[in-house]
């Protein structure tokens, strides 16, 4: 009853959060001038036509002549009926444009997420087990190097070195390469490396701090006295309780990078994913695509936070949702 009621309330709250975020985004875009309307007026003036008529015609074609409240109601209705509108710049439905871009985003986001979830806690645990030694300093230095350097700058440097100077990786992303091929792995190696080095530092820091508290705990000392192997002590008695607070950092930070840094990485490496789709839609004032991608990112963040809370019960059975 407790867990089921908690999930129901979280799903209902997700609709509220989605509504607020989409409404704010729609309002900001509605208040911004539409460049296509201005371009239509300029083109008509250059060709000897009537700029006012061309501007009004462009507004009618883009549905901007309707009252503001009517445009808002129509869009909100479409959001919750999965009719996310039509992309004027891509000449296709918004849902189809998002699915096409998601196909390329998944190709690097899945290996990036898997590597961070596996390496981040392990590097932190290794650093904690060798606290204040040269191994600790080496692991910390490696993790925080990627954490400190901006992803887009690091990506540009790597692209110039390995793409332009050495020619080891393609400078322009090739969409014709098969997904499961060596060529695709080579061209995705740099984006994945940039994202992994940029996100492993935060995970490693929390893992090191949390696991250090358990290294000298009584139950760990008892396990050592019983002759339990180091691997079992670190894996079962230290890493498992460390993952409870660490899961918050992993989910939250990866979602932050997925929304923000993925956009920069896709622009740098010319990957036609969700980040680049959103970037081009903002530049072109394609309101439907901007709102559609915003809605998708909101959905991912909401589901990610829900999964994070559910993982708590797996890692720590003492947590219950009866009073939440």
- Domains, the chain, in order of start with CATH, read 2-91 (no CATH), 94-315 (1.10.3720.10)
Dump the DSSP string for 157-217: HHIIIIIIIS--S-SS--TTS-SSSHHHHHHHHHHHHHHHHHHHHHHHHHHHHHHHHHHT-
Per-residue pLDDT, 226: 79
pLDDT of residue 199 exceeding 70: yes
Per-residue pLDDT, 321: 59
Q: Is 20 helix (H, G, I), strand (E, B) or coil?
A: helix
Mean pLDDT over each residue of the chain, to the nearest integer:
78
pLDDT of residue 317 exceeding 70: no
Q: Which helix (H) or strand (E) holds 86?
A: strand 86-87
Q: Which residue has the higher pLDDT, 105 or 308?
A: 105
CA distance 128 to 124: 6
Q: Which residue has the higher pLDDT, 320 or 98?
A: 98
CA distance 120 to 124: 6
Contacts of 214 (CB under 8 A, 6+ apart): 220, 237, 238, 241, 242
Q: Which residue has the higher pLDDT, 4 or 28?
A: 28
pTM of the model: 0.74
Residue 156 pLDDT class (50, 70, 90 cuts)? confident
Contacts of 312 (CB under 8 A, 6+ apart): 244, 247, 319
pLDDT one-digit tens code per residue, 208-229: 887 887 777 777 778 778 777 7
Dump the DSSP string for 102-151: HHHHHHHHHHHHHHHHHHHHHHHHHHHHTTTSHHHHHHHHHHHHHHHS-H
- With beta carbons less than 8 A apart as the criterion, state whether 25 and 294 touch: yes
């Amino acid at each position: 009853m407790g867990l089921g009621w908690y999930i129901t309330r979280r799903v209902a709250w997700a609709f509220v959060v989605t509504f607020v975020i989409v409404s704010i985004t729609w309002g900001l875009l509605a208040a911004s001038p539409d460049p296509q309307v201005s371009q239509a007026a300029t083109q008509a003036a250059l060709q000897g036509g009537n700029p006012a008529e061309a501007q009004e015609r462009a507004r009618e074609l883009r549905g901007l002549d309707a009252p503001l409240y009517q445009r808002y109601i129509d869009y909100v209705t479409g959001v919750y009926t999965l009719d996310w509108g039509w992309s004027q710049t891509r000449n296709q439905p918004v849902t189809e444009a998002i699915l096409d871009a998601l196909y390329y985003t998944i190709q690097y986001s899945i290996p990036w997420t898997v590597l961070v979830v596996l390496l981040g806690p392990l590097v932190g645990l290794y650093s904690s087990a060798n606290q204040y030694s040269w191994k600790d300093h080496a692991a910390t230095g490696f993790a925080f190097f990627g954490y400190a350097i901006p992803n887009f700058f690091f990506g540009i440097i790597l692209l110039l070195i390995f793409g332009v100077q050495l020619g080891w990786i393609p400078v322009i992303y090739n969409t014709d390469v098969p997904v499961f091929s060596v060529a695709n792995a080579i061209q995705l190696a740099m984006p994945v490396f940039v994202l992994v080095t940029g996100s492993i530092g935060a995970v490693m820091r929390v893992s090191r701090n949390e696991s250090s508290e358990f290294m000298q705990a009584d139950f760990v000392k008892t396990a050592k006295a019983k002759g339990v192997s180091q691997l079992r002590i670190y894996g079962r008695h230290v890493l498992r309780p460390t993952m409870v607070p660490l899961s918050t950092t992993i989910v939250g930070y990866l979602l932050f990078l997925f929304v923000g840094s993925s956009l920069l990485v896709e622009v740098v490496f010319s990957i036609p994913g969700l980040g680049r789709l959103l970037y081009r839609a903002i530049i072109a004032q394609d309101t439907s695509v901007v709102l559609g991608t915003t809605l998708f990112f909101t959905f991912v963040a909401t589901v990610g936070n829900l999964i994070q809370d559910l993982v708590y019960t797996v890692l720590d059975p003492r947590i219950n949702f009866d009073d939440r």
